[in-house]
Structure 1
Amino acid sequence: MNETIKIEEAVSTVLAELERQRYSDTTIKSYRCNYNVLLKYTKEKGINYYSEQVGLNYLKEKYGLTINGFYGTHPKKISATMRCMQVLWDYTEYGKITFRMRGKDKPYECPNQFKQEYDAFNKHFIERKYAPQGFQAVIKPIRRFIDFLQYSNVQSSEHITSSLITKFLSNYASNKTRYVATVISGLKNYMNFLYQDCFISEDISRLLPKVRIIRNSFIPSSWKTKDVKKLLESIDRGNPTGKRDYAILLTVVRLGLRVSDIRSLRLSNLNWNLKNISLIMQKTKQTLELPILEDVGWAIIDYLKNGRPETSSDILFIRHRAPYDAFSHNDCLQHSLHRYMVKAGIEIPRDRSCGLHSLRSTLARAMLDNNTPLPIISEVLGHQNIQTTSIYLKIDMEGLRKCIIDPDEVFKYEK
């Protein structure tokens, strides 16, 4: 508990920050009402400073709700109150105000016997500047593995054996090969770290199996040209959100940017004099330079002049609800895409991906249809290896038909 900031001062600071970030009057009123009742509660109890436990005790008395933290799924009214309590807790404990979404799950708590190495591994990932998505892909199976060790009464990382790892991996027997490969890769990473930093004396990572993933074993999803047109035409470009969404989708359709790069695209990445976009790709950390095509440029200009809310953020595409800042790194913008697909009457197949990445694949197919050389397609899509780009050859059906062997011709030569 921070006993330098009294609860009245903390409440005033949070409300002032809501106004500064231009939250709606309705939202600010909701926070103020919740805090007024909280202040009355703390005054009756003789409480001068706020803490997480104070907030939890308040929720218990107000709603009869016994919980261990500000997470979980609850009715709308309770969730709103919990969000107010969490924001106040963030400020009093950490000295900063973050209006973040509450988690549905309890934050991960590492068992004490593995906490030192787990925290060191997290720090190691931060120092290596892994992308958030990459970090989550690695850390989730490691957390499950640590919980498995706890359940198996293992008291130290030094007691991890190959048989324990085999038993843990057997839980994934029914999963797809690609996912199993991700789990094993995460474990290898973790076990190698433990060995390199002397938490264990044997390098168990070398005992983990190798899972061979054939990169060309699937056909990328792509859209029909008429459906892409229907999608873009379904967007109401008369309102600010429509202007933003149209610019985003057109940028993906015409330039093939990944969703991670769309989210992180900054105003400074746009060079209007040279008419190009230059950025460091989130996935590969390589530089990518693309032309600002005329239709893409005018869509972005329309958004900047007539749709983008006032904000101090340098991010190009921002949220249109307070706080007016970047999208979350977990937001794949799928919800908006799905909404426009429904509006356009586009059938959403169950057996095929229809996310923004499939629009990227559609651009690759269009370039193949125009006989664009593979190296150029690879450069546009920001691939480090042309072998990755060659996957898209599978969706060039017309090109493949030209490669079909005529059996009659084969037998004629054999004679």
Structure 2
Amino acid sequence: MGDTVQITIDQMMDTADQELRRLQLSPRTVYGHCKELQELADYCAQNAIQIYRFDTGIAYFLQRYGLDMTDSTIKLTEKERATRRTIRFLDDIYQFGCARRNSHHDYRVPVAYADVLEAYLNNCIKNNGASGTIDVKRTKLKQFLCYLDGQQILLPDVTASNISDYMTTLCQYKRATIHIISSVLRDFFRYLHTSNILKSDLAGDVPRPKIYVEESFPETWTPEEIQQLLSAINRRTAIGKRDYAMILLAVLLGMRAGDICALKFKEIDWHKKVITYRQQKSGKINSLPLLPPIGEAIISYLKNGRLDSDCDNVFIRHVHPYGPIASSSTLSESIKRYMRKAGLTVKDRKVAHSMRHTVASTLLRDGTPLMTISNILGHDTPKTTIAYTKIDLPALRKCALSYGSRREMS
């Protein structure tokens, strides 16, 4: 429905009622949504709000609970989560013209766009695109194509105005996320133009949000917090043994969550005590030392925790089917659970990734050369590593000066 067509609160409530019936949800779920919808409608009536917009639900949630529902670091009560689910239900209708039965972030490619999307992604693969990058592009474009489908816009008919309208629906995202979406869309539109699907190259019509280096500082962990986290894991259970080993890989080596979840048996050389794996994000090979605590934790899991499975991955799901862990977010969610158990504040949505920042900062304070840190984290250049270590500015300045001097001498 978007910003090109205004939808009244009454129209939104009628559409929501139709969608609840269409999805054939359980009576309990329908009752919960209806109760929340009525309370939101009352709020709109009391505040003379006649038109539904993306910020309507956000403002309602803030007024009702005094909380920002877009802040994923806040621990919500069951009632607050129920209200947020209903607001997201409405936002789906507003953005796509219909609601989805599955999770709020589960976008299914509309049939009309499926072939074009796959052709584009295959083209990216041919151009040596990394698997992690391909996955990001797939996810962001699914979201965009669902929006077009809800607006009943075919790809050959897309205009600069349509792009602008879509970008305005992303206001609830962080600037860095919008920057990624913008980059993906520009590349997609360039492909559509060169493939003669679009007569005009609309890449230049996609807004480019500015990203400031100093805009946000990376979250890091203190040694005490790390110890509290690890102590909260019950290593007597199978899942506890698995999670402990996985978290050690993040804490001690700074491995990405996706790479930890995808780690295979053949990538561990027990004789040389080395882990050699292909990074999902860049597609490049990285080698890291198999430190004794990590090796011991993995062996403990394999001998006394891992279920029987033909899966090549070291770490697997412990619910049927016993296969690969589907998403890297699983590790972050596990860490959050242990943080709460340990009484730690969940500050960062990507808690697993914050451990990479911690490893980088720790190595930097210990005097490790920037190039070495870059290699450990699997970065292409030290420039990327600087973003991970900028919280320790004094040590970073010394390291940067040293790196610059070596470049001048070479």
Please, what TM-score do these two structures have when normalized by structure 2?
0.65
1:246-257 to 2 correspondence within 5 Å? Answer: 246-257=244-255
**Distance (Å, rounded) in 2 between the aligned partners of 1:224 and 1:285:** 31
Seen in structure 2, the aligned counterparts of structure 1 residues 74 and 253 have a Cα distance that, compared at 3 Å, is farther
TM-superposed deviation, 1:380: 0.5
Which of 309, 314, 317 aligns to 1:316? It is 314
> CA contact under 8 A between 2:108 and 2:142: conserved in structure 1?
no
Detail structure 1 runs of 4+ shifted over 6 Å in the superposition: 400-403
> CA contact under 8 A between 1:237 and 1:243: conserved in structure 2?
yes
**Distance (Å, rounded) in 2 between the aligned partners of 1:169 and 1:263:** 32
1:3-402 to 2 correspondence within 5 Å? Answer: 67=22, 103-104=102-103, 108=108, 110=110, 112=112, 117-118=116-117, 120-121=119-120, 124=123, 130-131=131-132, 133-147=135-149, 149-150=151-152, 154=153, 156-172=154-170, 176-329=174-327, 331-349=329-347, 352-353=348-349, 355-396=351-392, 399=395
The sequence identity of aligned pairs, in percent, is 31
> CA contact under 8 A between 2:131 and 2:282: conserved in structure 1?
no
TM-superposed deviation, 1:169: 2.9
TM-superposed deviation, 1:211: 3.4
Query: Any gaps of 5 or more consecutive residues in structure 1?
Result: 1-64, 77-101, 404-415
Deviations 1:187-225 (A, max 9, x none): 212212211221122222234343332345321100111
Seen in structure 2, the aligned counterparts of structure 1 residues 73 and 368 have a Cα distance that, compared at 3 Å, is farther
2:380 partner letter: Q
**Aligned match of 1:46:** none
Seen in structure 2, the aligned counterparts of structure 1 residues 107 and 224 have a Cα distance that, compared at 3 Å, is closer
* Alignment root-mean-square deviation, CA: 3.2
2:314 partner letter: L
**Distance (Å, rounded) in 2 between the aligned partners of 1:286 and 1:368:** 23
> CA contact under 8 A between 2:379 and 2:385: conserved in structure 1?
yes
Range with greater deviation from structure 2 (340-349 or 272-281): 340-349
**Distance (Å, rounded) in 2 between the aligned partners of 1:387 and 1:129:** 19
**Aligned match of 1:38:** none
Range with greater deviation from structure 2 (209-218 or 304-313): 209-218
> CA contact under 8 A between 1:374 and 1:389: conserved in structure 2?
yes
Question: Could you say which structure has the larger radius of gyration?
Answer: 1
> CA contact under 8 A between 2:356 and 2:388: conserved in structure 1?
no
> CA contact under 8 A between 1:141 and 1:183: conserved in structure 2?
no
Deviations 1:172-196 (A, max 9, x none): 4575432332232232122122112
Secondary structure of the equivalent of 2:286?
A: strand
Range with greater deviation from structure 2 (234-243 or 392-401): 392-401
TM-superposed deviation, 1:73: 6.9
> CA contact under 8 A between 1:110 and 1:118: conserved in structure 2?
no
**Aligned match of 1:58:** none
Query: Any gaps of 5 or more consecutive residues in structure 2?
Result: 1-19, 30-100, 400-410
> CA contact under 8 A between 2:219 and 2:354: conserved in structure 1?
yes
Secondary structure of the equivalent of 1:332?
A: helix
Seen in structure 2, the aligned counterparts of structure 1 residues 228 and 147 have a Cα distance that, compared at 3 Å, is same
TM-superposed deviation, 1:306: 1.5
Secondary structure of the equivalent of 2:334?
A: helix
TM-superposed deviation, 1:160: 2.8
TM-superposed deviation, 1:324: 1.4
> CA contact under 8 A between 1:148 and 1:168: conserved in structure 2?
no
> CA contact under 8 A between 1:223 and 1:359: conserved in structure 2?
yes
**Distance (Å, rounded) in 1 between the aligned partners of 2:171 and 2:21:** 38
Deviations 1:326-358 (A, max 9, x none): 111353322221221122222334xx4461111
Seen in structure 2, the aligned counterparts of structure 1 residues 222 and 334 have a Cα distance that, compared at 3 Å, is same
Please, what TM-score do these two structures have when normalized by structure 1?
0.65
Q: What count of residue pairs does the alignment treat as equivalent?
A: 305
> CA contact under 8 A between 1:234 and 1:343: conserved in structure 2?
yes
> CA contact under 8 A between 2:274 and 2:290: conserved in structure 1?
yes
Secondary structure of the equivalent of 1:395?
A: coil
Seen in structure 2, the aligned counterparts of structure 1 residues 67 and 221 have a Cα distance that, compared at 3 Å, is same
